[in-house]
Amino acid sequence: MFRGASSINLDAKGRIAIPVRYRDALRDHQDPAMAGRLVITVDINSACLLLYPLWEWVKVESKLLTLSDTQPTERALKRRLLGHAHELELDTHGRLLLPPPLRVHAGLSKKAMLVGQLNKFELWDEQSWMQQLEDDQQVIQNSALDANERLADFSL
């Protein structure tokens, strides 16, 4: 499981180095064909990228396979996620080369944030991440956590 936010840098070639604390989890998998392989795609709700270990992405693809090719919303969702998906492999130094169109989509500059989200990571431009944190704080302050049964346990 991936948790925490890590400040990382994009190098001149558009590569990021995955923090050391995550590398073993990404490289150690019972299926050697999936070890060290990830899939990156766009987030449908935010200006960030989603980075899945391949074994987690397979689950996403299974869900996408159940969506309709004729219902416009479902087809748009499939087109967006699958159309932007790129398979990546960790190099010997724990780096990933990010596709240029995805770097542009997320507005990634030299400074970025890799944010663990249990089964995947979000990859943000650092400035966009800081703004998202402020926006999230407003959402939390303006909502009644106690009123939402699923969030009631998180109310402090």
In the chain the domains, ranked by start, together with CATH numbers, are: 5-125 (3.40.1550.20)
| Mean pLDDT lowest among 16-20, 101-105, 116-120, 148-152 | 148-152
User: Do the beta carbons of residue 88 and residue 37 sit within 8 Å?
Assistant: yes
Encoded tokens for 75:
């087809």
- pTM assigned to the model: 0.91
Terminal alpha carbon distance of the chain:
24
Is the pLDDT at 30 greater than 90? The verdict is no
Kindly indicate the confidence band of residue 153, based on its pLDDT and cuts at 50, 70 and 90. low
Q: What is the pLDDT of residues 48-61, one digit of tens each?
A: 999 999 999 999 99
Section 133-139 average pLDDT: 93
Q: What is the pLDDT of residues 80-126, one digit of tens each?
A: 999 999 999 999 999 999 999 999 999 999 999 999 999 999 999 99
Cα torsion 41, 45, 48, 49 to 10°: value is -10
**How far is residue 121 CA from its own chain's centroid?**
4
Section 14-19 average pLDDT: 98
User: Do the beta carbons of residue 36 and residue 90 sit within 8 Å?
Assistant: yes
Is the pLDDT at 156 greater than 60? The verdict is no
User: Do the beta carbons of residue 38 and residue 28 sit within 8 Å?
Assistant: no
Section 10-39 average pLDDT: 95
Kindly indicate the confidence band of residue 145, based on its pLDDT and cuts at 50, 70 and 90. low
Kindly indicate the confidence band of residue 29, based on its pLDDT and cuts at 50, 70 and 90. confident
Q: Which helix (DSSP H) or strand (DSSP E) does residue 37 occupy?
A: strand 37-42
Instruction: In whole angstroms, give the CA distance from residue 32 to residue 1.
Output: 19
